[in-house]
Amino acid sequence: MKKPLTLLFIVVLILTFAFCAPSRYVKTLEKKQSVLAFSFGGPLIKFGGAPIPIPFTTLGYAYGCSDRITAYGNLHTTSLLFGNFQTDLGATVKLYEKENQFGFSASPALQIACNVRNQTGFRTWPSIDLNSYYHPNKKPSYIYAGINSWIELSSTKAHDEPQTKHAIPNLHIGYSVVKTKWQHQFELKYLGMGIANTPGVVDYIGASGKGTFGLYYSLIRKF
């Protein structure tokens, strides 16, 4: 049977709602440096035969608390269109760095969401990004790769059924073009690992019938 396509589209949107943003601040900022960031992108869907990303957007601000720690906050603007307030507040911590060569960072964050219109559904989820980055030819621009996961702390879900999955990992790889005042970040994510994407009706692009690929672009203005 051909599945109800519109309902599958909802499934994709819901999946994407949870993981609608690219990796945040793979590298820490300089101390007292601040940036504004705009990100755009989502899972790849087939539209008119061509793969295009669903356009999820976020706006964010980050501040270099020290050379090792950058605090950030982001507003998920597309979620607002669905009547939901969604934000993530977190910090990127430099774990190790060999300057202008490579390094490792971690970004623990708290994802916060609620339904604005009904004033219901207030939820928080911890999340973490683990990243490694590499500067080819020791230039400012860098390649990065990592893993991101939201953590579900609840032991039950709807109808008191047990919540069996507590980590929802996604993989990503990206390239950050670093200029003096601007930074362009391109990222490919593999979302929803292990979640069936119902082959045969797919309007989005996954691998082996599971998950979906997402493509993201971030524009970062440094101050």
Partner 1 sequence: MKKPIPVLLFSLLLTSSCLKLDSNMYNTSDKIKEYKLDNYTGTQDFILDGNYAIPSSLVSIFDLSSQASDEKNSTTIKALYIGDISKIGSDTIILYCHGNKWHMDFYWQRAKLLAHTRGKNHYGVMMMDYRGYGLSEGKPTEYGMYADVDACMKWLKEKGLTNNRLVIYGFSLGTASATELTANPGALIPSKLILEAPFASTSVLVQDASQLNMPSDYFTDVKVDNAEEIKKVSQPFLWLHGTADLFLNYKTHGEVVYNQYKGSYQEKFMVDGADHGEVPQKMGFEKYLEVVGSFIIKK
Query: Radius of gyration over alpha carbons of the chain, in Å?
Result: 18
CB of 212 to partner 1, least distance (A): 11
Nearest CB to partner 1, comparing residues 14 and 50: 14
CB of 43 to partner 1, least distance (A): 12
Nearest CB to partner 1, comparing residues 66 and 77: 77
Helix (H, G, I), strand (E, B) or coil at 210: strand
d(C-alpha 198, C-alpha 27), whole Å: 37
**126: number of Cβ within 10 Å:** 14
Nearest CB to partner 1, comparing residues 103 and 192: 192
CB of 192 to partner 1, least distance (A): 8
Rounded to the nearest 5°, which phi and psi values hold at 159?
60, 30
d(C-alpha 219, C-alpha 134), whole Å: 20
CB of 156 to partner 1, least distance (A): 7
Nearest CB to partner 1, comparing residues 76 and 135: 76
Binding site for partner 1 (CB under 8 A): 1-15, 17-18, 36, 59, 75, 77, 79-84, 113, 115-118, 120-121, 123, 125, 150, 152, 154, 156-159, 161, 163, 165, 168, 192, 195-196, 198
CB of 81 to partner 1, least distance (A): 5
Please check whether residue 184 is in contact with residue 218, taking contact to mean a CB–CB distance below 8 angstroms. yes
Nearest CB to partner 1, comparing residues 119 and 180: 119
Nearest CB to partner 1, comparing residues 117 and 138: 117
Q: Are strands 69-76 and 56-64 parallel, antiparallel or unpaired?
A: antiparallel
CB of 121 to partner 1, least distance (A): 4
d(C-alpha 51, C-alpha 220), whole Å: 25
DSSP string for 135-196: -GGG-S-EEEEEEEEEE---SB-GGG-B----EEEEEEEEEEEE-SSEEEEEEEEEEEEEEE
